């Protein structure tokens, strides 16, 4: 669930958590049970930490039984419990069902049991003694990942067991996401677990700058610039899952980790994160999905409204002022390019595609005539109209140039001269007509 380990398999920035886990393993092997509750946001590294604890426990000679809850299996009663004990009871849940404890636990372990089987104290008591019987053969570790998605009967068993660990060679390791957005009873149950005596809460933090830099260097197999390494950390906020996705995208696109790569890096969205977001959006209720769509288009709508009102006046005034104060054509061209770049930067900052910024800039620059209220005088001169048309054509050609089309500057100059010559001739003809 993210690159939390160095190439040698060492977890980074998890020394305190691993030390607590090592102490809990030693206690379990000496016959004193305890519980580790790993809490943290999505992608912070709970699963990797859980895997390392299980590996260390197995190396210490403990029996390791694991289960992982799933988001859409919460309605499957005893699903997590059956995962935990499946290797001990067999695929049909009947291998060890002998004796009083196993008989009491049978409704939770046999797959043929209806999912609405009564969650009684006797079933929980039977599961407890079945766990104790397995632990007597060898110290036992029970690990449950994504406990916040577990079914209610399994959650009750976990809470029941956590209160009765004393004197058992048993370690219970649980990973739960926070903040929890589920139902209030589930929140209360996990909160009660954290408050139990003998439960140690571990909260992995975001990766430090040094850890992020080590992971970036290892992924790119080079020595990226300090600015690039810092950009990776800032973009992902040190979240291992996000950093893992970002590094995979960087490697796929052939980034070298230079300062010049930083602007493009900040625009990347890891594919794994995009798929996760889209999947969760697809599961949302219709009302929530409609709200998400509204938020997504809000930035675009606000940008278009501002561009076609305030932005239109600003663009017209800039072009007119430049055209009136400079005889050369290059200041006007420079202003056009500045406007297009500014539009692209604004759209990038608000999360809208930069192509939209260039398109809107083209629309504003290509206008033949603003509204009458925008004119400083009663009427625009004929040569003003002609020059603005040439400028609009030039803006369009500049947009095409971004797609690889070579701008024919010579043809543009000739066209500009013809327009100015035609405008001068019309003014001369009008003067002669007025004199006559």
For residue 404, the enclosing domain spans 287-435
Q: Do 145 and 239 have their domain in common?
A: no
Q: What pLDDT, in 10s, does the model give residues 260-294?
A: 888 888 776 555 555 555 555 555 566 655 665 66
Q: Is residue 1 part of a domain?
A: no
Helices 100-109, 121-137: inter-axial angle, 10-degree rounding? 110
Residue 358: closest CA among 370, 368, 348: 348
Q: Note whether 295 and 370 are same-domain residues.
A: yes
β-sheet with 63-68: strand ranges across: 63-68, 140-145, 170-177, 34-40, 199-202
pTM for the full predicted model: 0.62
Average pLDDT for the chain: 76
- 239 and 175 within one domain: no
The predicted pLDDT at position 230 comes to 92
pLDDT at 138 (0 to 100): 95
Asked whether residue 333 falls in the same domain as residue 230, the answer is no
- Identify whether residues 309 and 276 lie together within a single domain: no
11: DSSP letter:
B
Q: Is residue 86 part of a domain?
A: yes
Quick one: pLDDT at residue 6? 45
- Same domain? 374 vs 260: no
389 shares a domain with 321: yes
Of 202, 228, 249, the residue at which a domain comes to its end is: 202
Whether 5 is in a domain gets the answer: no
Supply the pLDDT for residue 363. Answer: 64
269 and 295 fall within a common domain? no
Given this model, what pLDDT does residue 379 score? 42
As a whole number, mean pLDDT of residues 53-67 equals: 96
């Amino acid at each position: 669930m993210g690159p939390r380990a160095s190439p040698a398999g060492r977890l980074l920035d998890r020394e305190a958590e691993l030390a607590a886990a090592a102490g809990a393993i030693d206690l379990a092997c000496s016959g004193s049970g305890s519980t580790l509750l790993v809490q943290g946001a999505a992608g912070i590294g709970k699963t990797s930490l859980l895997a390392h604890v299980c590996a260390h426990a197995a190396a210490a000679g403990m029996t390791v039984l694991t289960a992982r809850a799933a988001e859409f299996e919460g309605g499957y009663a005893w699903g997590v419990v059956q995962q935990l004990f499946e290797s001990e009871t067999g695929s049909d849940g009947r291998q060890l069902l002998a004796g009083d404890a196993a008989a009491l636990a049978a409704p939770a372990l046999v797959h043929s049991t209806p999912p609405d089987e009564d969650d009684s104290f006797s079933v929980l008591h039977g599961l407890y003694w079945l766990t104790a019987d397995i632990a007597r053969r060898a110290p036992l570790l029970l690990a449950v990942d994504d406990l916040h998605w577990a079914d209610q009967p399994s959650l009750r068993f976990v809470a029941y067991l956590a209160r009765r660990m004393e004197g058992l060679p048993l370690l219970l390791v649980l990973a739960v996401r926070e903040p929890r957005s589920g139902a209030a009873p589930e929140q209360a149950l996990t909160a009660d677990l954290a408050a139990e005596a003998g439960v140690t809460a571990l909260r992995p933090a975001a990766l430090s700058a040094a850890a992020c830099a080590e992971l970036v260097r290892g992924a790119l197999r080079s020595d990226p610039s300090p600015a690039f390494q810092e950009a990776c950390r800032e973009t992902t906020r040190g979240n291992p899952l996000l950093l893992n996705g970002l590094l995979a995208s960087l490697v796929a696109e052939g980034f070298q980790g230079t300062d010049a790569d930083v602007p493009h890096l900040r625009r990347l969205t890891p594919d794994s994160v995009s798929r996760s977001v889209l999947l969760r959006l697809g599961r949302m209720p219709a009302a929530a999905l409609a709200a998400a769509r509204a938020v997504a288009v809000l930035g675009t709508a606000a940008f278009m409204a501002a561009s076609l009102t305030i932005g239109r006046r600003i663009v017209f005034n800039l072009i007119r002022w430049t055209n009136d104060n400079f005889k050369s054509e290059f200041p006007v061209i420079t202003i056009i390019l500045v406007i297009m770049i500014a539009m692209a930067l604004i759209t990038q900052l608000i999360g809208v595609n930069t192509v939209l910024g260039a398109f809107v800039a083209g629309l504003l620059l290509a206008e033949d005539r603003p509204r009458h209220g925008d004119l400083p005088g009663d009427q625009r001169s004929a040569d003003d109209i002609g020059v603005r048309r040439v400028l609009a054509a030039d803006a369009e050609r500049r947009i095409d140039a971004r797609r690889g089309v070579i701008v024919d500057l010579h043809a543009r100059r000739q066209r500009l001269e013809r327009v100015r010559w035609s405008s001068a001739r019309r003014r001369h003809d009008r003067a002669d007509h007025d004199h006559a």
